[in-house]
Amino acid sequence: MPSASAFPPLYVQIRDYIRNGIESGEFGSGERLPSEKELSGRFKTTRATVARALQELVFEGLVQRRAGSGTFVLQPDLTIPFETTRIRSFDEQVAASGERISYRLLSFGEANDSKAIAALSEPAGSIYLLERLRLANAVPLSLERRFIPADIGDQLTVSALNTLSIHRILEELVQQPVAAIEGVIRVGSAGATLSELLKVQQGAPLLIRDYTLRNAEGRALVFGESFYREQFRIPYQVRQDD
């Protein structure tokens, strides 16, 4: 009969159990893991032993511990190449990388924002504000806040806002495809609302993209910003022609 010393320590067994569960898909990306109490009961050990196993997984970059919420499987980095010669929506680029994109409509209605009105060149008209979550493989990736002129907003449907990228909406429903994108990328942090919506810790770093979408005549169709979780990365190359 093997001696007790022939078996790995309990914290290693717990660590390997969770790691194997992540690799097999038993614990999905963004999913909350069993609590320390549940794991200590399953393995008949102390919570301190469980905490050591979880901390090793944190060091490996497999899980994230959130105070008061538990331990969650980390979402893998999502890498989307930056293209300067082709107009493609973020959603199309993500889909091309093999991820499944979906949306969760949060709100859509009239708004009064002087900066947005000026950016959309609609001094005499009203505007709409669209807020929705973009999910990659059912895990929140970004929050969209888009201001849209009323004549365009009046053509949008709840069904379209729940299923289509803004680029497809503008092209297929409004018949005004995006011909130019102007934007700025900056860094911010998650406040209480964003941390709840994006399932990140309050104060976590966020990538923020400010942008204006224009049609071929130069009219601003959409003005807004998107807030991305830190797992989102944009690799790019710059080459000088001979």
Instruction: Give pLDDT tens digits for 109-128.
Output: 999 888 888 888 765 578 99
Residue 217 or 98, more confident: 217
**Checking DSSP bridges between strand 101-111 and strand 127-136, what pairing results, if any?**
antiparallel
The answer to pTM > 0.85 is no
Does the pLDDT value for residue 52 go beyond 60? yes
C-alpha span between 189 and 211 (Å, rounded): 18
Does the pLDDT value for residue 84 go beyond 60? no
C-alpha span between 9 and 69 (Å, rounded): 27
**Checking DSSP bridges between strand 232-233 and strand 78-79, what pairing results, if any?**
parallel
Of 185, 30, 29, 168, nearest to 91 by C-alpha is: 168
pLDDT score recorded for residue 123 = 58
Instruction: Give pLDDT tens digits for 163-198.
Output: 988 988 999 999 999 888 888 889 999 999 998 898
Give the range among 8-17, 56-65, 141-150, 214-223 with minimum mean pLDDT: 56-65
C-alpha span between 39 and 17 (Å, rounded): 10
Q: How confident is the model at residue 1 (pLDDT cuts 50, 70, 90)?
A: very low
